[in-house]
Structure 1
């Protein structure tokens, strides 16, 4: 963030762009906490950060970008250091006239572009990316503000040139990747005599447990123990992952759809860059959930990327957005920060006075955080005198590393 014109702060009270009204004005959210000076405080509306109100009022873009499984298409591409999985939003601010004109020309017929990310060594482009659909945009004072939603994963076609258009703007040819249907790995091998009694196709773990007797009859034809096959069932993996995540997150924020959960995990659980890339290449939700269960069992610390000083623990993370604890935000200069919100932090110093300009969390002022040991930029402290929580920390993913202190047990 930096000081700039706060266009969004001029909006009428109780409104955000496109006429949406915050949930607090539509419901009776609890106002049962007071600040230290006795002033009544509202609970922060976690719908607001996902609206990216700080971008100001944007115009809706018509059309829908969706491609068939395996379809090959040529699109404009933008490279950032962040990852956005399907279902999540990316805000962008473009200040360069040439980049703006080039992007507008390439997205005039197809309101979509490819988001590229660096490889695990940050020395090249990773061959997998996501197709982003532009759904809101506005050109104001020679600056292009836009919001794009991740729709589909894709893969760069080997041998096809990655053409540089200007700066970090490219033209690429990609092959679209879609999710295959979710089925039991043993569903098509079920004995016909058993199908008469019960068709084995469970979507919930409770149903899975009820079918255990029939499942044992079915699995008796195979040489391995039944638990081996259980660990490849979607409902079993879903139940195990949600149980594990309940130690860190409120269950109400965790999706119960297996595909959505496999993407939500990457956006919210603190993973290393190479771990996130490994998940991105996996073609099915079963594969992703199995790997995510392995990562979930590892004890992690959030440390300074420059000197390894401990900044926060995994159980300090909490959601300040309906997307979860980790979201993408953009500063006036166009730099995208993948930001993790935590309730507690240590080993940092605050630099400069608080500022409310271009705040990603309406109602909060931000102050720059630097590492106490090496003065590297870590993120921002957000504070408010009228909202609860009255303070929290937004850690920039570019400023910290995830350190694994315990590998855990790999029972999958």
Structure 2
């Protein structure tokens, strides 16, 4: 018996459909198929927009996630987030009361507010300021820039965004999808 499989990556659900059935001709319009690209090794790479959880404004892209470890992180781990594997999540604290799970991006549309601060930086050699959503002004995280701009192999700015303030575009798209008629 010839079978076809459809793999829904988000939920890791496998549906087995007989190849000769009418269901095997359905093209699954899954939130990942539009942005997925496959190479010869069948490894799938996704690009996804990362949105402000408050208003849905685009604030970053998964293409700009970087693994820059802060020596000040309380702990860190890798996770699959926003359709991207091995995303470095760090838990940082600006005091001993509030802790934030953050992801570091090379680029973001979040807007810096306030003055640059060099004290208590999570990244040595960087100064920081708060950053907010450009549309709703929700607090998203922090912008860091090198104190000495001549530091080699250092991005001009990095954005440490709070995971709980973000949502993936594919997740929001899944909320608005209508069921496929069989």
Task: Report the TM-score, using the length of structure 2 for normalisation.
Answer: 0.56
Q: Show the counterpart of 1:379.
A: 141
Matched residues in 2 for 1:379 and 1:311: separation? 11
* One of 83, 94, 101 as aligned partner of 1:338: 101
3-state SS of 2:68 partner: coil
4+ runs of 1 displaced by more than 4 Å? 293-299
TM-aligned CA deviation for residue 354 of structure 1 = 1.1
* One of 47, 51, 54 as aligned partner of 1:306: 54
* One of 387, 401, 404 as aligned partner of 2:167: 401
After superposition, what is the alpha-carbon deviation per residue over 1:191-223, rounded to whole angstroms, capped at 9, x for unaligned? xxxxxxxxxxxxxxxxxxxxxxxxxxxxxxxx5
TM-aligned CA deviation for residue 375 of structure 1 = 1.2
TM-aligned CA deviation for residue 406 of structure 1 = 7.2
1:392 is aligned to 2:158: yes
After superposition, what is the alpha-carbon deviation per residue over 1:1-52, rounded to whole angstroms, capped at 9, x for unaligned? xxxxxxxxxxxxxxxxxxxxxxxxxxxxxxxxxxxxxxxxxxxxxxxxxxxx
Q: 1:358 and 1:301, CA in 2 relative to 1: closer, same or farther beyond 3 A? A: same
Q: 1:362 and 1:310, CA in 2 relative to 1: closer, same or farther beyond 3 A? A: same
Q: Which runs of 5+ in 1 are unaligned?
A: 1-222, 229-274, 280-292, 408-412
TM-aligned CA deviation for residue 320 of structure 1 = 0.8
Q: 1:390 and 1:309, CA in 2 relative to 1: closer, same or farther beyond 3 A? A: same
Matched residues in 1 for 2:89 and 2:101: separation? 7
* One of 341, 349, 355 as aligned partner of 2:111: 349
Which runs of structure 2 are paired with 1:177-188 in the superposition (5 Å)?
Answer: none
Residues 345 and 393 in structure 1, CA contact (< 8 A), matched pair in contact too:
yes
TM-aligned CA deviation for residue 334 of structure 1 = 2.1
1:366 is aligned to 2:132: no
Q: Which runs of 5+ in 2 are unaligned?
A: 13-31, 37-43, 71-76, 78-86, 175-182
1:315 is aligned to 2:81: no
Residues 299 and 406 in structure 1, CA contact (< 8 A), matched pair in contact too:
no
Q: Higher Cα Rg: structure 1 or 2?
A: 1
Matched residues in 2 for 1:356 and 1:400: separation? 26
Matched residues in 1 for 2:115 and 2:143: separation? 11
Matched residues in 2 for 1:398 and 1:338: separation? 7
Instruction: Say how many residue pairs are matched.
Output: 125
TM-aligned CA deviation for residue 389 of structure 1 = 1.9
The structure richer in strand per residue is 2
The structure richer in helix per residue is 1
Matched residues in 2 for 1:297 and 1:318: separation? 15
Matched residues in 2 for 1:313 and 1:364: separation? 23
Matched residues in 2 for 1:400 and 1:351: separation? 19
- When the two chains are superposed, the root-mean-square deviation of aligned CA atoms in Å is 3.5
After superposition, what is the alpha-carbon deviation per residue over 1:161-200, rounded to whole angstroms, capped at 9, x for unaligned? xxxxxxxxxxxxxxxxxxxxxxxxxxxxxxxxxxxxxxxx
Which runs of structure 2 are paired with 1:114-129 in the superposition (5 Å)?
Answer: none
Q: 1:406 and 1:297, CA in 2 relative to 1: closer, same or farther beyond 3 A? A: farther
Matched residues in 1 for 2:167 and 2:2: separation? 40
